[in-house]
Amino acid sequence: MRRFLFLLPFLLLACTGAPPSVLEVSHSLVYSRNPASGEQELLLLCSAAVLDDDGIDDIEVVYVIRDEAGLYWEVNEEAWDIFSQEGQHWLSFTLASPGADPFPSGTYRLLVRDYGGREAERTFLVKEHPASYPAERFPSLFVQQGSVQSKSSEPLKVIGYDGEGRLLFSRELKPGAFLSREQIPEQVAVLYALIEREDYLLRSGPYAVY
């Protein structure tokens, strides 16, 4: 009995039982173009600042819901990245288009659930948007023997992922600027080029790193 009483305070401290909170949600539409095939797809990039007294690892699942359209996405921890900014923990993930009417405009709900079944949510608004963009507006890279050159007429961002989809690298590039293979982490397998607009992102890739 004494042993149980000794352990009880530590068990209580390990799990507060408090529900999570969604402090803020940011989102951006991503127009993505494959430079090899010319195919385009529309994605939705979501980032949520989440507070959980039991730690960010206590979050089990995230749902994004568009009630009026009958759409929802389920996101598990394998599909999100975690980063910290100004003392807050953020979950970031990308959603694929639901079909013929990609991401209908209107109010969406982002709901998080922890392993104790407690939930919190916050809404965000997706504005009216075109389904695609002309190919010439997309950023472009020239990759040869591992070196990279920007072929765009405006600044862009180069991001790199490993073979399992983990983000490892991010660098701003001016028009015509180069990156040598030595400047790119060895584990990076593919690169993407991004140009940020006020309400959306233009992305091209993947570019294989040899």
> What structural domains and CATH numbers belong to the chain?
15-126 (2.60.40), 135-208 (2.60.40)
Is 69 in contact with 126 (CB distance < 8 Å)? Answer: no
**What pLDDT score does 110 carry?**
98
**Exposed/middle/buried for 114, CB within 10 Å: 0-12, 13-18, 19+?**
buried
**What pLDDT score does 15 carry?**
54
d(CA 118, CA 102): 30
**What pLDDT score does 86 carry?**
83
Q: From its phi and psi, is residue 87 left (phi > 0), alpha (psi between -120 and 50) or beta? A: left
| 14 CB-near residues (< 8 Å, 6+ apart) | 54
d(CA 120, CA 122): 7
pTM above threshold 0.85: no
Q: Each residue's pLDDT tens digit in the chain (210 positions)?
A: 333 333 334 333 445 568 899 999 999 999 999 999 999 999 999 999 999 888 889 999 999 999 999 999 999 998 998 888 888 899 999 999 877 678 999 999 999 999 999 999 999 999 998 878 888 889 999 998 878 999 999 999 999 998 888 888 999 999 999 999 899 999 999 999 999 988 899 999 999 987
Is 109 in contact with 98 (CB distance < 8 Å)? Answer: no
**What pLDDT score does 1 carry?**
36
**What pLDDT score does 16 carry?**
56
